[in-house]
Structure 1
Amino acid sequence: MSSTALLVMDVQNAVVHRYPDPDYLPRLASAIATARAAGVPVIYVGVGFRPGFPEVSPRNKMFGPMAGRAGGGNDDQAMAIHADVAPADGDAIVTKRRVSAFAGSDLDVLLRAREIDHLVLTGIATSGVVLSTLRQAADLDFRLTVLSDGCLDADPEVHRVLVEKVFPAQADVHTIAEWEPKVSNG
């Protein structure tokens, strides 16, 4: 029997602020409501670091500029999940240390413990966390669905190419309105 979870990835205040789309959060909120109504667990994944960013190598092109800076950690309001799609009681929150939701996190352990084998992916950015997580999850033999309008990217053409040409090789791709979660958890 298949068990499904909705992953809401990198929808943190600082990230949402960089991707202004007034329709995105309401769309994502509707996907979260659909999942909850169907009994599908919602798992939030966000990037976070300890104070001083000791996990970040200066060689890392994306995160390297943070290395050695003061601040960081998970208490920073900028890194909190955006209030419009905030976790509910009982939702799992996973902290990752790199782009993929699996990198430096306990996501795989959490999914295996809950016997989840089907992931529904949403998040910011399509070319970042969604792409990296999809590739790693496929290699870990998860069944995958991507909610195309539950993802957002700074470059609309990159988003289009990924959801129309790249992701279908490893995942089913649907809009939020098309997605019908199967109540097979249990």
Structure 2
Amino acid sequence: MAIPTLTSYPLPREWRENKVQWTLDPGRAVLLIHDMQAYFCDFWGAASPFVAELVSRLAQVRQRCKDLGIPVIYTAQPGQQSDVDRALLSDMWGPGITQHPDRQAITAGLEPADDDTVLVKWRYSAFQRSPLEHMMAELGRDQLIIGGIYGHIGCLMTACDAFMRDIQPFMLADGIADFSQAEHQMALDYVATRCGRVLTCREVLGLGDTVRSLPTRDDLKSRLLSMLDEMDEPFDPDENLLDYGLDSIQMMTLLSEWREQGLELNFTDLAKTPTLNGWWALISDRGGVQ
């Protein structure tokens, strides 16, 4: 019934292609550090290198967010929960943290600062029985960066809930941890294809760096494939994209998205060589990341 003893695993390095190509904007984003309490980290054992590495990555992301003016919000279950408050969680997980209220604090290395917000966590989603949505609306922010534990439970449910509230979720692929590699992988694949965008901690650390925020070749390919109709043959990077069905409105959409990322191209540039390789050559000339 309780959370099982957990072991470290190699973090997933790949996941399903992101269905959306939302651009993370420091002026619209909030960082959510989800349930990084000592009690939940303890299931990997004392002084776990796996947890220490996760804490280190999240601490770097948190600092970068603070540098960019992105608000930081934590969730934490209360150390004491009545049967009424805990409700169905008791059926699924037993008494949980109420047996170890001394382990309720956020784990060492990620302690909230005075200007951070800590929300009481009652259910899988950070939005349930909390003012998170209202707080984000008051701040004028509609993007949520999600890191913490556990990936396929609270982190995933929070991402789904955000999506259903018209808040864009960004899941940190290497900024979450889970019961197993398989469950971690499942959470990433689901977010990428159903309710948000998966990105790495390094991408958040690169926010504000014009060169590193430009699209990669994989980004370009993924974005093009999301715009094209299903194909019966393999995608050819040297084939004319107009023959694949790409139209001028979609090309203008791409130009607008790239302009927001600091990449200045025009319609004439794209029309000269309308292939993936041709467009990537143009982006590379302007500092695109391989």
Q: Does residue 133 in structure 1 map to residue 158 in structure 2?
A: yes
Relative to structure 1, the CA distance from residue 50 to residue 59 in structure 2 (aligned partners, 3 Å threshold; closer, same or farther) is closer
Q: Unaligned 5+ residue runs, structure 1? A: none
Letter in 2 for 1:167: V
List alignment gaps of at least 5 residues for structure 2: 1-24, 210-290
Kindly indicate which of the two structures has a greater share of residues assigned to strand: 1
Alignment TM-score, normalising by the size of structure 1: 0.84
Closer, same or farther: CA 181–120 of 1 in aligned 2, 3 Å: farther
Kept in 1: contact 2:37–2:105 (CA 8 A): yes
Deviation at 1:52, TM superposition (A): 3.6
> Which digits, 9 at most, give the CA deviation of each residue in 1:61-120, with x for residues without a partner?
335x229xxx94xxx331111121111111011012111111222212222222221100
1:71-90 mapped onto 2 (5 Å cutoff): 72=98, 76-90=101-115
Aligned to 1:172: 197
Change (3 A) 1:61 1:52: closer
User: How high is the sequence identity, in percent, across the aligned residues?
Assistant: 25
* Count of residues paired in the alignment: 177
Q: Distance between the aligned counterparts of 1:142 and 1:182, measured in 2? A: 22
Higher helix share: 2
**Residue pair 2:29, 2:145 contacting (<8 A) in 1 also:** yes
1:96 and 1:178 mapped to 2: Cα distance? 28
In 2: Cα distance, 1:59 partner to 1:119 partner? 25
Structure 2 vs 1, CA of residues 83 and 176 (structure 1 numbering), >3 Å: closer, same or farther? same
CA distance in 1, matches of 2:124, 2:88: 15
Q: 2:79, 2:102 within 8 Å by CA — same for their partners in 1? A: no
Go from structure 1 to structure 2 and tell me whether the alpha carbon gap of 1:88 and 1:54 turns closer, same or farther (over 3 Å shift): same
CA RMSD between the two structures: 2.6
Q: Does 1:66 align with 2:95?
A: yes
Alignment partners' CA distance in 1, 2:102 and 2:89: 27
TM alignment of 1:33-182, pairs within 5 A: 33-48=63-78, 50-57=80-87, 60-63=90-93, 65-66=94-95, 72=98, 76-163=101-188, 165-169=189-193, 170-179=195-204, 180-181=206-207
Deviation of 1:177 (Å) = 0.8
- How far off its partner does 1:48 sit? 2.1
**Higher RCO (Cα < 8 Å, 6 or more apart):** 1
Matched residue SS, 1:34: helix
TM-fit CA distance, 1:60: 4.9
Residue 201 of structure 2: SS of its match in structure 1? Answer: coil
Larger Cα Rg: Structure 1 or Structure 2? 2
Deviations 1:28-49 (A, max 9, x none): 1111111111111110011226
SS in 2 for 1:93: strand
Q: Distance in 1 between matches of 2:162 and 2:79?
A: 22
Q: Does structure 2 retain, via aligned residues, the 8 Å contact 1:123–1:150?
A: yes
Structure 1 residue 126: deviation in Å?
Answer: 0.4
